[in-house]
A = this chain, B = another copy of it.
Amino acid sequence: MDEIPARNGEAAPQKGTVTQRAIEQIKAMIGEGRLEPGQRLPTERDLAARLGISRSSMREAIRALTVMGVLEARHGSGIYVTQLEAGDLLETFGVVADLSRGPRLVELLEVRRILESTATALAAARITPDQLAEVEKHLTAMNATDDPEEILAHDLAFHREIAAAAGNDTMAAILEGLSSRTFRARVWRGYQEEGAFARTRREHAAIHRALVAHDPEAARAAAAAHVGEVEQWLRAQLDAPPL
């Protein structure tokens, strides 16, 4: 059964909750360019008065947009529109990785394998000497220590530099979310216990060689294999133990 369409209204204020409406309105203002990136908004009190709602509701709307990475509130200073760059808008993406379990972890790694391999291929073609030096820095640092914490940190940085060299900020931001610290810490805890350190180092070395040679196909293959290893291990883990 269809709902009664009813309202043809103009102002038609009666939709959703008040807070939801405020969210949409501010989002629309930014979408229409009435609010530029970095610009400061009126005070909470002003905004609330303008949209005819209470400050509490306005604060919830602001909180929502803050979580989305659209706004940024600075205590004592004011509310500002973010730069609206990929990194800002995709900051929340990490919670997916944090809260996922079981089969979905494999799905995440599958997506990461696809994007990471492509990003590494792009990086092989475009990477500059400076960027390559940065990659090498983390590669050697990772091989020089036995502290799992430090290894993990350099591992993350290694892939982050490569993603940055690929030249697609959006892709880099998504990969960042797919590799959130807590996510990798959880998966790698078990993975590394099986003496996967050596293999990881070998794979990183292969990726590095492909970057130096500016060989996209080799880079794609090496990155895909690297992520694929973890993916397969995790897949096996899910089949075997009930946990």
Residues of chain A touching chain B, judged by Cβ–Cβ distance below 8 Å, are: 19, 27, 30-31, 56, 59-60, 63-64, 66-68, 70, 84-86, 89-90, 92-93, 95-96, 98-100, 104, 107-108, 110-111, 114-115, 118, 168-171, 174
A58 to B114, CA, bound (A): 39
Number of copies: 2
**Nearest-neighbor residue (CB-CB) of A119 within chain B:** B114
Q: Report the minimal beta-carbon distance from A64 to chain B, rounded to whole angstroms.
A: 5
A108 touches B68 (CB 8 A): no
**Nearest-neighbor residue (CB-CB) of A113 within chain B:** B118
A176 to B169, CA, bound (A): 19
A86 touches B67 (CB 8 A): no
A13 to B93, CA, bound (A): 26
A49 to B169, CA, bound (A): 42
Q: In the assembled complex, which residues on chain B have CB atoms less than 8 Å from the CB atom of A59?
A: 56, 60
**Nearest-neighbor residue (CB-CB) of A89 within chain B:** B96
